[in-house]
Amino acid sequence: MLRSWKAWLALLLVSSFLGGVGPRVSQAYADEIPTFVIQKQTEKEKVRWSLADWLDTRDRMRMQDLWLALHSPAPYEFYLGGNYQFNQSPTSSSFSAWETYFAAFVTIFGLEARYESTVDTRWSGIFHLRIFGYHDQSTNITLQLGLRNEQNSATSFRNPLAGISMTLYLMRHFGIDLLYRHYFYSTPDSSGVSYFGDRYQGGAFLDFSFLRIYGEYFSEVGTLPNIKGVQIGTKIYF
């Protein structure tokens, strides 16, 4: 009789426990199902491809390309310049001269023409190759190859040339210029003499937007007519 009473009591407790837990577990699962379904649909939408999305992406890329085209530096660069020189020859005689030049660049390649009126008249054609930097109005290192023609009333000769120039910005609108150029043996003049020499040049400049003002010291030595002096000039970029 005692055993039967205990068995019935245990059965009643188990039934009560299962009856209380069951609805709560079922309710928890019922609450999680909508959340799971919504999250799954959200993930699907993130990776769903549609024609409308592709068109929107294409339009955004076109706008970005247009913005870059408007705000990126052009691959072309031109400058026109001139300077006035205060020269001195080895005989200590002083004289003045002037020079003008024009250059056109496409990315790292450029061509330059120079005309100089000193004791003799000089024409130069120079090919430029920038090995560091992309613009003349930025820090750069540029190699030079070309030809210079020099003539006066008595004779004329031509020198192949090679050189290297460096522009170094020390501040946003201020920097220094350095140049070394070697003139190889020239074609013989009317008396059969060939000439060669070196040019050393250095100075400082100030940039005002598209305008540069500079001053430089230069010296030419060798069997060419030796001169040294100071030149002051301007460059206009466009």
Task: Report the CATH number at residue 134.
Answer: 2.40.128.100
Q: Domain of residue 12: give its range.
A: 2-71
Partners of 63 in the beta sheet? none
Do 94 and 44 reside in the same domain of the chain?
Answer: no
Do 126 and 87 reside in the same domain of the chain?
Answer: yes
Do 99 and 25 reside in the same domain of the chain?
Answer: no
Partners of 102 in the beta sheet? 80, 113
Do 37 and 129 reside in the same domain of the chain?
Answer: no
d(CA 3, CA 9): 10
Do 191 and 85 reside in the same domain of the chain?
Answer: yes
d(CA 143, CA 126): 10
Do 83 and 198 reside in the same domain of the chain?
Answer: yes
Cα 148 versus chain centre, distance? 30
Do 42 and 155 reside in the same domain of the chain?
Answer: no
Counted domains in the chain: 2
Q: Which amino acid is at 117?
A: S
Do 170 and 87 reside in the same domain of the chain?
Answer: yes
**Cβ pair 115, 122 in contact under 8 A:** yes
* pLDDT at residue 38, as a whole number: 72
- For 111, the token pair is 């061509």
Strands (E), 156-226: 156-171, 174-183, 197-208, 211-222
Domain boundary residue, one of 43, 71, 99: 71
Do 120 and 205 reside in the same domain of the chain?
Answer: yes
Do 131 and 58 reside in the same domain of the chain?
Answer: no
Do 9 and 85 reside in the same domain of the chain?
Answer: no
Domain boundary residue, one of 71, 96, 127: 71
Dump pLDDT digits (tens) for 102-137. 999 999 999 999 999 887 899 999 999 999 998 999
Q: What percent of the chain has pLDDT over 90?
A: 52
Do 67 and 11 reside in the same domain of the chain?
Answer: yes
> Taking 80 as the threshold, does the pLDDT of residue 9 lie above it?
no
Place 70 in a pLDDT band, splitting at 50, 70 and 90: low
For 91-95, 119-123, 136-140, which range has the lowest pLDDT when averaged over its residues?
Answer: 91-95
Domain boundary residue, one of 71, 90, 120: 71
Residue 121 burial by Cβ neighbours in a 10 Å radius (0-12, 13-18, 19+): middle
